[in-house]
Structure 1
Amino acid sequence: MHLGDNSAALPATLQTTESSLAPFQFSTQSSLDVDIDSEHRYTLPELIDIAQRNSPATRAAWLRAREAELAIDVVDSTRLPQLSANVLAGYERVSRPEPGIPELGIGSGRLTATGYQLFPNLAVEWLLFDFGARDAAREVAEQTAIASNVIFDGAHQKVIFDVSEAYFQLMAAKSEVEIDQERLEDAQTLREVAQGRLQEGVAIRAEVAQAQQIEARAQFDLTLANNRVERAHAALIHAMGLPPMTALEVADLSGRTLPREVPRPLDELIETSLAQRPDIQAALARVRASQSGIDLIAAGSRPKVAAVANIGQLHGHVELSDSRFGSIGSMNRPLDEILAGVVFTMPLFDGGRRQAQQAQARIQAEAAEEDLREIRSAAAYQIVEAYNLLHSSLAAYTASGPLVEAGRETYDTSLGLYENGLATLAEVSLAKIALNDARLIQTRAFSDTFAASTALAFATGRLNHRTAPATF
C-alpha cells in the first residue's frame, strides 16, 4: 500500500449518480441460492454482487417497487370501458283482495300472482368525466412508484455500504494478525538472543525471563487478533446474507493507493448531493403524492358522468290465480331488453366522511413536508461527518508513514545495541512496542480511509454497483 500523488481523485463511487435499478432483476420465486467457490479469493466487487443478489432487503424493495408500478396500471384501467356479465334471478308473489260480483252470485276473494325471473345480461359502463379524480389518483400512484424505485436503489446502496464496511474491517483485522505474527517472531528471536547471552555469561536469568514474558504477550496478542479476524469474517458473511458456516476466501487490498487529500470542497459536495440521495428523493416523492392525495379527496365531492349500456334477455314464468274462479292462467315468454344512456352522479351527503378524509390528507401532506426537512438536515450532517472522517483518516495515514520509519529505525538500532551489550532488553522491548503501535496505526488508518470514502459515497447518494467502493 502506498500514497498516490496530489492529483489523485476521489473514488469513482463519488463521481456517478446513475440508478442501480436496471441491472438487478429478481424472480418471483424464493431467495436465490448462491454457489460459493471455496478455492476462489473473492474481490470486493464480487462480494457486493453476491450480496445484492442474495439480500432479502433488496429483494423486498424490488417487489415493493414492482407493486407500486402496477398501481399505475390499475389507475389507467379506469379510463377504459368496464364490461361485466350479470345474472339477476328472483322470485315474486303478489296478492290482493278482490270484491265479489253479487249479480253473478260470486263472492269476494283474492287475486294472486306468483312467478320467477332470470335475467342474464351484459353491462358496459364508461366513466366519461370525473373532474380530476383519475388524474389525481394517477399522480399519487406515479409518485408512490418513484419513491419505491429510489428506495430500491437505496436498499442496494445500503447493501454495498454494509458489505464494504465489513470487508474493510476484515482487512484491518488481517493486517493486525500479520503485524502480531511478525511481533511474535521477533519476540522469539529476542528470547533466543537472551538465552545465548546467558550461556555466554553476559546476561542474567532475569533478561531471559523478561524475553519469555515478551514472547508470551506477543502470543496472547496474536490470539486476540485471530479472534478479531474470525468475528470480522462472520460480520462479512452476515452482511452478504450467507449462512454463518459459509467457507469464503477474500482477496486483500494490495495494489490500492490513497490520495493525499479530498479535492472537492465540502459546501459544493453538500449542495450537489442532497438531491441525489435516495432517501431525500423518496421523501420528496411522498410529499408530492400526499399533495395529490388532497386533490383526490376533493375530487370525490364532484359529480361524475358515465355512459352505460345493458343488453340481455328476460326469462320468467308467471301464474295468476283467483280464489273466486280458481287458476286463471300462466305466462312463460322470454323478453329481449336493450338499455343505453348516461348516468349523472352527484354526492350530496356522506355524514362528514369526505371532510374528515380531507383533513387527514392535509395532515399527511404537512407531515411529509416535515419528514423531508428532517431527512435533508440529517443527510447534510452525515455528509459533513463522513467528509471530516475521510479528511482525518487521510491525515492519519499520511502522518503514520514517518512514524513507522522512525519506529523501525529505533528498533533496529536498539536491537543491534542489545546484541552488543550496549542496551537493555527493556529498551529493545519498548522500541518494538512503539514500532508495532505505529504499524497498527498505519494499517488502521489505511483501512479507515477506504471505509470513510465508502461512507462519504453512501452519504452523498453516489454509491452503486458499477465500480468497487473506494477505488481511487
Structure 2
Amino acid sequence: MRPLLPVLLLGLSLALGACAPNAVHMASPSADTPWAPNGKENGIWSAQGEPSPAAAPTTPGGAPDFRVPANPELAMMPQTPDIDADRPYRLPELIDIAQRNNPVTRASWQRAREAALAVGMVEATYLPLITANVIGGRQTTETPVRVSVGAQRYFDTTAEGVSPSIALQWLVFDFGQRAAVADAAKQGAIAANVLFNGEHQRLIFDVTRSYYTYGAAVTRTRIARQTLRNSTAIRAAAEDRLSKGLATTVEVAQARQQVAQSELRRVQAEGQERDAYQALIAAMGVNATLRLHVEDAGNRRLPAATNVPIDSMIKLALAQRPDVAASYSALLASQAGIKAAEAEFMPKVFVAGGVATGQGSFNANGLPNIGQQATGSGVLIGATVPLYDAGLRAAQLKQAQARTDAAQSTFQRTQTLAVTEIVAASNALRTALESYKAASALTAAASTTYDAALEAYRNGVGTVTAATAADSGLLDARQAQADAHAAALIGAANLAFVVGAMTSRDAVP
C-alpha cells in the first residue's frame, strides 16, 4: 500500500485540475441562449435557487427570454430624507439636504480619508518591523532493511521540533527615498481634500442652477396658463360678436385656433416643469420619487452688474479654485517622485536582528527519544548597493520625469481653462442682465399692445388677427423675460463657482 501514495496524490491533482475547465459552465452555452443563474454563483442569486443555465428561460411564445432574474434585495433604496410636504423649501435648505444625502460627496470624503491613510502608511516605514514567527514540523522516514528482523521490514525514524523566534528589520538610511514618497503621499492627500471641498462647491452650484431652471419652468407654466386665459378671452369676444352678427366664422375659427395653440403650449410648459423638477431632484442626489414643495424663485432679486476687474477675479480664482490647487499638488507630488526615483541609485543601510529558541526530538524504532533545546540571538548591520538592473532604475527615473512634465502641462492647462471660464462667465452674466432689461421693456410694451388689441376688437375697431398676434407676442415676451431672469441668476451663480467663491449654502446669489 505504501508505494500507492504517490499515485493517489497524482490522481488527486489531476482531478482538481479538471475542475478549472468546468467553470465555463457558469456562462451561457451559446451566443443566442439566455444566461440564468444556477444558485452556485455566491452572489446576489446564490440564495434564490434559480434554474440551471441548461434550462434557458423562454417567453410564453417560446422565444428566448433575456430578462435578468429578479432579486428583491436589489430594489431596496437608501432611506429618504425627512421632508415636510406642507412647507416650501428655499434654496439654502435644498443645498443642505443635498450635502447631507448626495452619494457623490460621501464618496469624495472617503477618497480623502483613503489618501490621508496613505500618508500614515508611508510614515510607518520609518519605524522598524518586528515579527513573531513559529516554525514546527514532523518528519517520518521509513528505510527498508536488507535483512528482515521478524516482521520488521522497515527502519522507522521520526524527527519533530518547534522553533519560535522574534525578528527585527529596520531600514535606517535610504538617502531620502521614504521622505520623497511621504511628500508625494502628503500632496496626494492635500489634493484629495481640496477636491472634496470642490465636490461640495460643484454640488452647491448644480443644485443652484437646477433650482433657478426649475423656477423658470414654473414661471413659464404660469405664463402659459395666463396666455390660455387671454386666448379664451379673445375667443369669447369673437363668439360674442358672431352672436351679434358683427363677426365672421373665420374670425371665430382663428380665435379657437389660438386657444388650441395656447392649450398646447400650456401642456408643453407643464411637461418642462416636471422635467425641471426631476433635474433638481437628480442634482440633489436623492430619490427621484421624493415630493417636496420648492419656493418660487421667479421674483428673486437679480444681482447687480459686477464692477470687479477681470484681472482681479482671475487672480482670486487662481489662488482658491480647487482644481487649480489640486493640479498644483499633483505637480509637487510628481516632483517628489523624481527624488524617490533618484534615491534608488543610492545604497540603503539596514539593521536586522532576531531572538530564537528551538526544541526538537528524535526517535528511532521505539528507542528512547533524543531531545535538544537551543536559544540564539543576533544583530546585523548591513548595506545594500544596487550595481546592475538592466536599466530598470534609469527607466523609472525617466518615467518620473515624464510624469512631472505632464503634470506641469496639466497645471498650466488648468490655469488657462480657469481664465477662459471666468471671462466666459462674466460675459454671460452681463448678457443675461442686459437681456432681462430688454425683455422687461418688451413685456411692458407687449402687454399694452395686447390690452389695446383686445379692447379694439371688442369695440369693432380692430381685427381678431391683431388680437391673436398680440396674444402670441405677449407670451413670447413674458417667456423671454422669465428665461432672462433665470439666466441672470444662473450666470451669477456660475461666475461665483468658476471664481471659487461658491463655498457654502449661504453664498448663493
TM, length-normalised to structure 1? 0.82
Q: Offset at 1:87?
A: 2.3
Match of residue 66 from structure 1: 113
By how many angstroms is 1:172 displaced? 0.8
Q: What do the CA deviations read for 1:81-116 (whole angstroms, capped 9, x no partner)?
A: 3221022446899xxxxxxxxxxxxxxxxxxx9955
Partner of residue 450, structure 1? 489
Q: Name the CA shift for 1:439/1:120 in 2 (closer, same or farther; >3 Å).
A: same
The question of whether the paired residues in 2 share the 8 Å contact of 1:32 and 1:53 is answered with no
Distance 1:203 1:255 in 2: 41
Corresponding residue number in structure 1 for 2:171? 127
Name the CA shift for 1:352/1:87 in 2 (closer, same or farther; >3 Å).
farther
Equivalent in the alignment of 2:278: 234
CA contact (8 A) 2:95 2:505 kept: no
Distance in 2 separating the partners of 1:189 and 1:274:
57
**Residues 141-180 of structure 1: matches in 2 within 5 Å?**
141-180=185-224
Partner secondary structure for residue 285 of structure 2: coil
Q: CA deviation at 1:185?
A: 0.7
| Aligned 8 A contact 1:58 1:155 in 2 | yes
Q: Does 1:387 align with 2:420?
A: no
Instruction: Give SS of 2:508's match.
Output: coil
Task: Tell me what 1:243 maps to.
Answer: 287
2:320 paired residue number? 276
In structure 2, the CA distance between the partners of 1:300 and 1:89, relative to structure 1 (3 Å rule), is farther
1:182 maps to which residue?
A: 226
In the alignment, the residues of structure 2 paired with residue 256 and residue 220 of structure 1 have an alpha-carbon distance, to the nearest angstrom, of 28
1:374 aligns with 2:418: no
In 1, distance between residues paired with 2:230 and 2:468? 10
Indicate the RMSD between aligned Cα atoms, in angstroms. Answer: 2.6
**Paired position in structure 1 for 2:305:** 261
Checking the alignment, whether the CA contact within 8 Å between 1:49 and 1:465 is kept in structure 2 is no
1:345 aligns with 2:389: no
Higher relative contact order (CA 8 A, sep 6+): 1
Q: Offset at 1:300? A: 2.2
Pairing of 1:277-426 with structure 2 (within 5 A): 277-317=321-361, 332-426=371-465
Q: Secondary structure at the match of 2:506?
A: coil
Out of 115-124 and 383-392, give the one that drifted further: 115-124
Deviations 1:171-211 (A, max 9, x none): 11110111111111111112112222222232222222221
Maintained 8 Å contact 1:187/1:215:
yes
Q: Report the equivalent of 1:83.
A: 130
- Please tell me whether the aligned partners of residues 348 and 384 of structure 2 are also in contact (alpha carbons under 8 angstroms): yes
User: C-alpha offsets along residues 346-379 of structure 1, whole Å, 9 cap, x if unaligned?
Assistant: 2233333222211211111111111112222222
1:137-165, Cα deviation, whole Å (9 max, x unpaired): 11011001011111212222222222222
Partner residue, 1:56 = 103
TM-superposed CA distance for 1:468, in Å, is: 4.9
SS at match of 1:333: strand
- Percent sequence identity over aligned pairs: 38
| Whole-Å separation in 1 of the counterparts to 2:287 and 2:158 | 73
3-state SS of 1:363 partner? helix
- Give the 3-state SS of the residue equivalent to 1:126 in structure 2: strand
Q: Secondary structure at the match of 1:274?
A: helix
Letter in 2 for 1:195: E
Give the number of aligned pairs: 418
Q: Is the 8 A contact 2:318 2:415 kept in 1?
A: yes
In structure 2, what is the Cα distance between the partners aligned to 1:377 and 1:384?
Answer: 11
Q: What is residue 438 of structure 1 aligned with on the other side?
A: 477
Q: Is the 8 A contact 1:45 1:467 kept in 2?
A: yes
Q: Distance in 2 between matches of 1:350 and 1:33?
A: 58
Deviation at 1:411, TM superposition (A): 1.8
Quick check: 2:361–2:370 contact (8 Å CA) kept in 1? Answer: yes
Q: Which residue is equivalent to 1:101?
A: none
- Name the amino acid aligned to 2:381: V
| In structure 2, C-alpha distance between the alignment counterparts of 1:272 and 1:247, rounded to whole Å | 39
CA contact (8 A) 2:219 2:298 kept: no
- Deviation string, structure 1 residues 230-281 (Cα, Å, up to 9, x no partner): 1111211222222332222211115521134112112221122123221111
Alpha-carbon separation, structure 1, partners of 2:493 and 2:201: 10
Question: What residue is the counterpart of 2:10 in the other structure?
Answer: none
Instruction: Identify the residue that residue 139 of structure 1 maps to in structure 2.
Output: 183
Give the letter for the 1:136 counterpart. Answer: A
**Counterpart AA for 2:470:** A
Given residue 170 of structure 1, which amino acid in structure 2 is its aligned partner?
Y
Secondary structure of the structure 2 residue equivalent to 1:348: coil
Distance 1:31 1:352 in 2: 53
Runs of 5+ in structure 1 lacking a partner?
A: 1-29, 94-112
Amino acid at match of 2:452: T
Gaps of 5+ in 2: 1-76, 141-156
Gap change, CA 1:327 and 1:348, over 3 Å in 2:
farther
Query: Does the 8 A contact of 2:96 with 2:505 survive in 1?
Result: no
Kept in 2, the 8 Å contact 1:31–1:54? The answer is no
> C-alpha displacement at 1:71, in angstroms?
0.7
2:448 partner amino acid: E
Out of 259-268 and 329-338, give the one that drifted further.
329-338
For residue 329 of structure 1, report the CA deviation from its aligned partner. Answer: 10
Give the letter aligned to residue 64 of structure 1: R
Of stretches 75-84 and 255-264 in structure 1, the one that deviates more from structure 2 is 255-264
Tell me the TM-score normalised to structure 2 length: 0.76
